[in-house]
Chains A and B, each alone.
Chain A
Amino acid sequence: MARVTTGITSSHIPALGAAIETGKSQDDYWGPVFKGYQAIRDWIKKPENMPDVVVLVYNDHASAFDQNIIPTFAIGCAEKFKPADEGWGPRPVPDVVGHPDLAWHIAQSLILDDFDMCIMNEMDVDHGCTIPLTMMFGEPEQWPCKVIPLPVNVVTYPPPSGARCYALGDSIRAAVESFPEDLNVHVWGTGGMSHQLQGPRAGLINKEFDLDFIDQLINDPEALSKKPHIDYLREAGSEGIELVMWLIMRGALPEKVRDLYNFYHIPASNTALGALILQPEETAGEPLEPRRVLSGGTFAKA
């Protein structure tokens, strides 16, 4: 039987990819970010942790979808997905290889579970999908696992509610568990944390909000799922709304989880960045050492 063993969160900002491609990943600015991620890279490459398939929840940033078609929840069922050209040429990364059997199984199960999914048989994937892969796996010739891209609309209002995202995660878990093949499946929630990319308020970062969000995501996701959109917008900036996608990851895990790793950094370009590894408490592995890393911004002075 397939099972969701792990939930991971990650930033997906394009500047992370640019830092690698321009050789800046070890400089003073980006060094702490990549150091924070190195612990995850070391953890995930161990055979017992390496997923067979990642259900990668992200938002398409006007790449596969434009203003003609705006699916709230979509699922990539194709054999493979090419990196999108977002205006500077496609990212120089391998094609994302899908798992059509599991993807179609999840798609059918979700629809029967009252989630009216949009099914994608052809789709390019943008930085929202490929940056987390780069951050976890570096620069391999081929990605080491299969990926089911699951884009969520958080651009054109209204995006789905936190509660709907949390419930979707629960349905994804149920769908995975009814797939007969023995697979280690991860669900990754990407984007966030607090950031605003537009208008005079651009550059907003809210450390207190972010750290509370992480704490509640781990310990009380049910309550967190009820947070209204306006709270994200006021507290975490207009693009901080991406955090609702983390609730899809969290919904795919049981009520009690253990955080094996908890990394928070300010800033990565315009954003605060959070990267977590969560596992169901009953089957959780050992936490990483150190388990919690806070870096950058005002932490530097502490």
Chain B
Amino acid sequence: MTEKKKERINIHEYLAEMEDIPGTRVFTAQRARKGYHLNQFAMSLMKAENRERFLADEKAYLDEWNISEEAKKAVMDRDYNAMIDHGGNIYYLAKLFSTDKKSFQFAAGSMTGMSQEDYAKMMLEGGRSPEGQRSIKGKY
């Protein structure tokens, strides 16, 4: 028999740490479960015919999915922070902003409260510093 594992990661500590990062929602199982239908809706936009149908009548298309009315509103408002609060994941939601012919930089910038110009300028100057952005509890 092979040697048994001596050290294990404590899952509760692991998951608690994931919630300790400012301005960040890590795509944990809890979020993945909450956002299951929202993310699967976004996946459906990988087909051209679904993109056309969605763009022609967004509400009607969304009503085909088991998604809360709040989450549907977040989609129609293109409020990416709200979509993530409803369990959306950025790589799934990418199908939505790609349907809108928007870039990752547009979507990421839209979540920061900065204008697109200011966000692009910040990136050109070396991006957002991690100083003070690492831990909510530790404030470092």
Q: B-contacting residues of A (Cβ < 8 Å)?
A: 13-15, 18, 61-63, 66-68, 84-89, 155-158, 194, 196-207, 209, 228-230, 233-235, 238-239, 266-267, 269-270, 272, 296-298
Query: Given contacts A297-B125, A297-B126, A297-B127, is CB(A87)–CB(B21) below 8 Å?
Result: no
A18, A85, A201, A272 — which one has the most chain B CB atoms within 10 A of its CB?
A: A201
Q: Is the interface of A mostly helix, strand, loop or mixed?
A: loop
Q: Which residues of the other chain, B, contact A298 by a CB distance below 8 angstroms? A: 125-126
12 sample A-B contacts, Cβ–Cβ < 8 Å, listed by A number? A63-B46, A88-B99, A155-B91, A157-B32, A199-B23, A202-B108, A203-B119, A203-B128, A233-B26, A269-B123, A270-B104, A270-B105
User: How many Cβ-Cβ contacts under 8 Å join chain A to chain B?
Assistant: 169
Shortest C-beta distance, B44 to chain A (Å), equals: 9
Q: Which residues of the other chain, A, contact B123 by a CB distance below 8 angstroms? A: 203, 205, 267, 269-270
B26-70 interface bits toward A, Cβ cutoff 8 Å, 1 = contact, 0 = none? 111100100010011011011110010000000000000000000
Query: Given contacts A85-B46, A197-B104, A200-B112, is CB(A62)–CB(B24) below 8 Å?
Result: no
Q: A-contacting residues of B (Cβ < 8 Å)?
A: 9, 14, 17-18, 21-29, 32, 36, 39-40, 42-43, 45-48, 51, 80-81, 84, 89-92, 94-99, 101, 103-105, 107-109, 111-113, 119, 122-130, 133-135
Q: Which residues of the other chain, A, contact B126 by a CB distance below 8 angstroms? A: 205, 207, 266-267, 296-298
Shortest C-beta distance, B26 to chain A (Å), equals: 6
Q: Which residues of the other chain, A, contact B113 by a CB distance below 8 angstroms? A: 200
Q: Which residues of the other chain, A, contact B17 by a CB distance below 8 angstroms? A: 230
Contact partner, B90, options A87, A198, A205, Cβ 8 Å: A198
Q: Which residues of the other chain, A, contact B104 by a CB distance below 8 angstroms? A: 13-15, 197, 269-270
Contact partner, B81, options A13, A68, A199, A272, Cβ 8 Å: A199
CB–CB A198/B14 < 8 A? no
CB–CB A86/B46 < 8 A? yes
Shortest C-beta distance, A200 to chain B (Å), equals: 4
Q: Which residues of the other chain, B, contact A297 by a CB distance below 8 angstroms? A: 124-127
Query: Given contacts A62-B91, A67-B32, A86-B98, is CB(A209)–CB(B108) below 8 Å?
Result: no
| Top 4 A-B pairs, shortest CB-CB distance | A205-B127, A87-B98, A201-B23, A200-B23
Shortest C-beta distance, A208 to chain B (Å), equals: 9
Q: Is the interface of B mostly helix, strand, loop or mixed?
A: helix
CB–CB A201/B94 < 8 A? no
CB–CB A233/B128 < 8 A? no
Q: Which residues of the other chain, A, contact B119 by a CB distance below 8 angstroms? A: 202-203
CB–CB A67/B109 < 8 A? no
- Bound form: Cα–Cα A269–B94 in Å: 15
CB–CB B29/A157 < 8 A? yes
A198, A230, A239 — which one has the most chain B CB atoms within 10 A of its CB?
A: A198
Closest A residue by C-beta to B140 = A234
CB–CB B94/A199 < 8 A? no
CB–CB B45/A199 < 8 A? no
Q: Which residues of the other chain, B, contact A200 by a CB distance below 8 angstroms? A: 22-23, 81, 111-113
CB–CB A238/B24 < 8 A? yes
Q: Which residues of the other chain, B, contact A18 by a CB distance below 8 angstroms? A: 103
Beyond A198-B90, A238-B24, 14 additional pairs, beta carbon < 8 A:
A62-B95, A66-B39, A66-B40, A66-B92, A156-B32, A157-B29, A198-B24, A199-B24, A200-B22, A200-B81, A201-B112, A203-B109, A204-B128, A233-B24
CB–CB B112/A203 < 8 A? yes
Closest B residue by C-beta to A195 = B127
Closest B residue by C-beta to A63 = B46
Closest A residue by C-beta to B134 = A234
Query: Given contacts A63-B46, A155-B27, is CB(A199)–CB(B18) below 8 Å?
Result: no
CB–CB B24/A201 < 8 A? yes
- Bound form: Cα–Cα A269–B109 in Å: 10
Closest B residue by C-beta to A87 = B98
Shortest C-beta distance, B25 to chain A (Å), equals: 6
Q: Which residues of the other chain, B, contact A206 by a CB distance below 8 angstroms? A: 129-130
Contact partner, A67, options B18, B39, B81, B108, Cβ 8 Å: B39
